Amino acid sequence: MPLARWIVRAMLALLVLVPLPALARPVLLISIDGLRPADVIDAQRRGLTLPNLTAFLTNGSYARGVVGVLPTLTYPSHTTLITGVSPARHGIVANETFDPLHINDGGWYWYAEDDKAQTLWDAAFLARLTTGNVHWPVSVGARHITWNLPQIWRTGHPDDRKLVRALATPGLVAELEAARREGYADGKDETLAGDTLRAGFAQSLIRHHQPGFLTVYLAALDHQEHMTGPGSAEANKTLEAIDKLVGDIMALEHQFHPDAVVAVVSDHGFAPVDTAINLYRAFIDAGLVTIDPAGKINGWQATPWATGGSFAIVLAHPEDAALRAKVAALLNRLAADPATRIAQVITEPAIATAGGNPRAAFYVNLKIGAAAAPFLGSSLPLVLPSGTYKGMHGYFPAAPEMRSTFLIAGPGIAKGRDLGEIDMRAIAPTLAKVMGATLPEAEKPPLPVQP
């Protein structure tokens, strides 16, 4: 048999023995922070004009609601969206890093090295796809992002732009700024103007580099919902503007990748709030947190770690049974007072079952309408007005108000399929399968989005 014919037959035999993935397509993943599923599903009834988002309901598959993680915060949720595992596994257990003495100037989990799980960027790299990112949380220093515009800020000072340029893929910010003839958004800018700039840079990234897997994060809806409440006129106006940005990004993606699959996700829902709970007051009064003459924290035995609508409670010495009993008694006493708005207190076994923070000895869930106050000083009372915040998330994921969004459409995706209520951990393995990759660590199987 001629050598060439033998090689062809051998290759065909391998194709039979090693099945190809049913789908192997470019993927565009867009996150709209704080997008509630009913805002899309019931857009017309709510008076919202969202032509690009509502098109997914007929052109693709969608979830009635996504059950999130503990806590339902931006950074833990986005890391689950990109890994398919719970916060206990990936390690991003809050937005801000643990800082009991408050010396880190409000630092967040910006750095990819803190994520202990395999990401979709890693999976795409192993599947030999190029990757891109615009502002996705926990992306600074991510190893397998080919073109990376990571999310980071410090103060809102113009020096933050230098920080982003230094931590982005070398030369990328300058390249795209020159192409667009405008500067990139400040890292701390969560307004619609900031989203508009980032959406434009996402389009330029597509135009100039066509990554096989691209993540884009838009923050303005979450910002507006915090300021004026979910469903407010201002939030609705912001969402309608974001719908247009999504349409613009999708149009350019399909220009360069006609076979692309597009997914739109969110990290959590939203609830209106009118009250803030300052657990620090109770912990200071109990001697568990100590304050110096300047009003700063200078020591702690047990401390609250505010996570939106909940608190993780961390013990300095978890092995100390007397300390644990003292904190348990304090929390039980607080929970018995209706003014504290505590809905539930769970301990380590329940926290582990929920995939929550392994460092937490207790986790306190507040009632919807109350927000967890960070340390704001040593003189404030236990119960406060919510101040500038009119909306909040971060409650335990069982709350219906915390349901988030999943929409997906493109070649090989079932049209008009209602997936019902899904687990957030199923999204990443679904997208991995679409791009012909795998996420073996994922805690849930892929969703049935194929026809």
Task: Give yes or no: residues 378 and 303 share one domain.
Answer: yes
Task: Give yes or no: residues 319 and 181 share one domain.
Answer: no
With respect to residue 4, please indicate whether it lies within any of the assigned structural domains: no
With respect to residue 122, please indicate whether it lies within any of the assigned structural domains: yes
With respect to residue 7, please indicate whether it lies within any of the assigned structural domains: no
Widest Cα–Cα separation across the chain: 91
CA distance 347 to 303: 15
CATH number at residue 64: 3.40.720.10
Task: Give yes or no: residues 34 and 137 share one domain.
Answer: yes
With respect to residue 9, please indicate whether it lies within any of the assigned structural domains: no
- Find out whether 430 and 449 touch, Cβ atoms under 8 Å: yes
CA distance 321 to 61: 50
Q: How does strand 406-409 pair with strand 60-62?
A: antiparallel
Residues listed for the chain: 451
Task: Give yes or no: residues 173 and 40 share one domain.
Answer: yes
Per-residue confidence (pLDDT) for residue 24, from 0 to 100: 80
369: burial class by Cβ within 10 Å (0-12, 13-18, 19+)?
middle
| Residues 6 or more apart whose Cβ sits within 8 Å of residue 251 | none
Task: Give yes or no: residues 414 and 327 share one domain.
Answer: no
Beta bridge mates, 367: none
Per-residue confidence (pLDDT) for residue 402, from 0 to 100: 98
Q: On the CB side of 32, how many CA atoms lie within 13 Å of its CA?
A: 31
Q: On the CB side of 117, how many CA atoms lie within 13 Å of its CA?
A: 28
Task: Give yes or no: residues 251 and 280 share one domain.
Answer: no
CA distance 111 to 89: 16
Could you give the angle at the alpha carbon of 217 between the alpha carbons of 180 and 229, nearest 5°? 115
Q: On the CB side of 254, how many CA atoms lie within 13 Å of its CA?
A: 12
Considering only CA atoms, which of 383, 241, 397, 221 is closest in space to residue 307? 397
- Find out whether 401 and 88 touch, Cβ atoms under 8 Å: no
Task: Give yes or no: residues 27 and 102 share one domain.
Answer: yes
Task: Give yes or no: residues 173 and 259 share one domain.
Answer: yes
Residue in the block written with tokens 């689950």: 80
Q: Give the C-alpha distances (Å, rounded to integers) separating 304 from 227, 233, 300, 309.
A: 24, 34, 10, 12
Q: How does strand 302-306 pair with strand 310-315?
A: antiparallel
Q: How many domains does the chain have?
A: 2
With respect to residue 299, please indicate whether it lies within any of the assigned structural domains: yes
With respect to residue 450, please indicate whether it lies within any of the assigned structural domains: no
- Find out whether 128 and 193 touch, Cβ atoms under 8 Å: no
Could you give the angle at the alpha carbon of 312 between the alpha carbons of 308 and 317, nearest 5°? 155
With respect to residue 1, please indicate whether it lies within any of the assigned structural domains: no
Handedness of CA 418, 122, 154, 106 (dihedral sign): positive
CA distance 349 to 197: 44
Task: Give yes or no: residues 172 and 104 share one domain.
Answer: yes
Task: Give yes or no: residues 250 and 337 share one domain.
Answer: no
With respect to residue 160, please indicate whether it lies within any of the assigned structural domains: yes
Task: Give yes or no: residues 41 and 179 share one domain.
Answer: yes
CA distance 241 to 94: 29
Per-residue confidence (pLDDT) for residue 23, from 0 to 100: 60
pLDDT means per 10 residues, the chain with 451 residues, are 40 38 82 98 98 98 98 98 98 98 96 98 97 98 98 94 97 98 95 98 98 98 98 98 98 98 98 98 98 97 98 98 98 98 98 98 98 95 96 98 98 98 98 97 97 92
Considering only CA atoms, which of 233, 130, 246, 256 is closest in space to residue 195? 246
Considering only CA atoms, which of 40, 26, 27 is closest in space to residue 406? 40
Task: Give yes or no: residues 229 and 359 share one domain.
Answer: no
CATH number at residue 324: 3.30.1360
Tell me the residue range of the domain where 352 lies.
275-389
CA distance 364 to 418: 34
Q: Give the C-alpha distances (Å, rounded to integers) separating 154 from 159, 236, 359, 374, 385.
A: 9, 29, 26, 18, 27
| Residues 6 or more apart whose Cβ sits within 8 Å of residue 68 | 77, 80, 267, 268, 397, 402, 403, 404, 424
Structure tokens of 419? 């997936």
State in Å, rounded, how far the first CA of the chain is from the last one. 42
